[in-house]
Amino acid sequence: MFSGKTEELIRRLRRAEFAKQNVEIFKPSIDVRYSDEEVVSHNSTSIRSTPVPSSSNILLLVGEVDVVGIDEAQFFDDGIVDVCVQLANQGIRVICAGLDMDFAGRPFGPMPALFSVAEYVTKVHAVCMHCGELAQYSHRKSQSGDVVLLGEKDIYEPLCRTCYNKANIDETSDK
């Protein structure tokens, strides 16, 4: 989290629009943190989108487009992989943004499968909130064990491997 994934997605989609390409953007309907109908970055950059409850809805709603953007891909069901492959096989450029790992450092939902079928993968990193190094972990500050827990800086903080491991050891010893 806080690495600029959504900001980069929006940047790429705006460039496609500038190039007069037809663009459609989808996001999981459960993500209502900033807006019901827009994809919004933590920096408040936004772009219109269509919220959908499952990946299969994307195929039903996509029109004549050149580019499809998908935000928070980790929240979709495993069918998102087949949806992306089907769109790509139709000549549509598909750009997905999502977390590769959950709060426990495990591969998140369909993301590993999406990586394996993607032509290009860009991995962006946040900055560790404890030491300033590159952060690849989303450390959850709350005690919830739910894999999906929508939140922002009040619930999550980006940490590097060293600080993430230390935070988990500290939390375990506090119990």
Residues 7-31: tens digit of each pLDDT: 899 899 999 999 999 999 999 998 7
* Residue 47 sits in the same domain as residue 100: yes
Active-site residue set: 72
* Residue 27 sits in the same domain as residue 106: yes
Q: How far is CA 48 from CA 6, 34, 92, 112, in A?
A: 13, 12, 19, 27
* Residue 69 sits in the same domain as residue 143: no
* Residue 112 sits in the same domain as residue 141: no
pLDDT of residue 127: 94
Find the CATH number of the domain harbouring 160. 3.30.60.20
pLDDT of residue 48: 84
* Residue 114 sits in the same domain as residue 153: no
What's the domain range around 139? Answer: 127-174
Task: Decide: 63 and 108 in contact? Cβ < 8 Å.
Answer: no
Find the CATH number of the domain harbouring 57. 3.40.50.300
pLDDT confidence tier of residue 152, bands split at 50, 70 and 90: low
Residues 105-124: tens digit of each pLDDT: 999 999 999 999 999 999 99
* Residue 36 sits in the same domain as residue 107: yes
Into how many domains does the chain fold? Answer: 2
* Residue 58 sits in the same domain as residue 98: yes
Which pTM value belongs to this model?
0.85
* Residue 100 sits in the same domain as residue 22: yes
Q: Tell me which residue has tokens 């079928």.
A: 117
* Residue 98 sits in the same domain as residue 147: no
Residues 54-103: tens digit of each pLDDT: 999 999 999 899 999 999 999 999 999 999 999 999 999 999 999 999 88
* Residue 69 sits in the same domain as residue 104: yes
* Residue 107 sits in the same domain as residue 146: no
pLDDT of residue 47: 75
* Residue 54 sits in the same domain as residue 17: yes
pLDDT of residue 45: 76
The stretches of the chain forming alpha helices (DSSP H) are 5-18, 56-61, 80-89, 111-117, 161-174
